[in-house]
Amino acid sequence: MTESTEPTGAAAWQVRRILLPTDFSGCANYALPYAAAIARAAGATVICVNVVEPIVPAVGYTGMAEAMPIAEMSEQMEDSAERELPDVMRCEDLRGLKVEEVIGHGDAAAEIVRVADEQEVDLIVISSHGRTGLGRIIFGSTAEAVVRHARCPVLVVKPPPEEEEEEEEQ
């Protein structure tokens, strides 16, 4: 009789692709070492996604006499966002790992879930800004929405307690 090392009643879970959403803020960086450690241990690819949320202009006014067409404004924002985003692959934590970069456009949580489905990821590792109370109501919780709608497991990394306190004070 041979013993199985797999959990009974559950298929073995293999992590081959990890989605790491980032807005390049200090809080977003807390998820990075977790994603990198899991990727190293599992031999997985890390897919970094940054979502550029739309800026809705009041009228599309450029300060000149005529309004700028929405399509042109959107194109300019995409171009500038792509030029100004730092290269995630230069990060020390990700050195030596296979890393892909994706830029999404739209609502952050919806785009993260869409990219996760499209890229067939096995795990999402996302930071929480640690907001509570009014801050959470006003800004919403991207991490919470991702947890609710993602089809794969989601690891939510909270900031250290001192960072949470600073967020609540602001």
pTM: 0.70
Identify whether 59 is part of a domain: yes
Average pLDDT, the chain: 77
106-119 pLDDT, tens per residue? 999 999 999 999 99
Could you tell me what percent of the chain has a pLDDT over 70?
61
Between CA 60 and CA 68 the distance in angstroms is: 6
The length of the chain, given as a count of residues: 170
* CATH number assigned to the domain comprising residue 75: 3.40.50.620
Identify whether 111 is part of a domain: yes
74-105 pLDDT, tens per residue? 565 555 455 444 444 446 788 899 999 999 99
Residue 65 has pLDDT above 50, yes or no: no
> Domain containing 112: what range?
17-169
Identify whether 7 is part of a domain: no
Identify whether 11 is part of a domain: no
Question: How many structural domains comprise the chain?
Answer: 1
Identify whether 9 is part of a domain: no
Identify whether 8 is part of a domain: no
Residue 51 has pLDDT above 70, yes or no: yes
Confidence of residue 167 (pLDDT cuts 50, 70, 90): very low
Confidence of residue 48 (pLDDT cuts 50, 70, 90): very high
Identify whether 5 is part of a domain: no
Identify whether 29 is part of a domain: yes
Residue 58 has pLDDT above 60, yes or no: no
Residue 24 has pLDDT above 70, yes or no: yes
Confidence of residue 12 (pLDDT cuts 50, 70, 90): confident
Confidence of residue 147 (pLDDT cuts 50, 70, 90): very high
pLDDT at 85: 43
Type of residue at 122: D
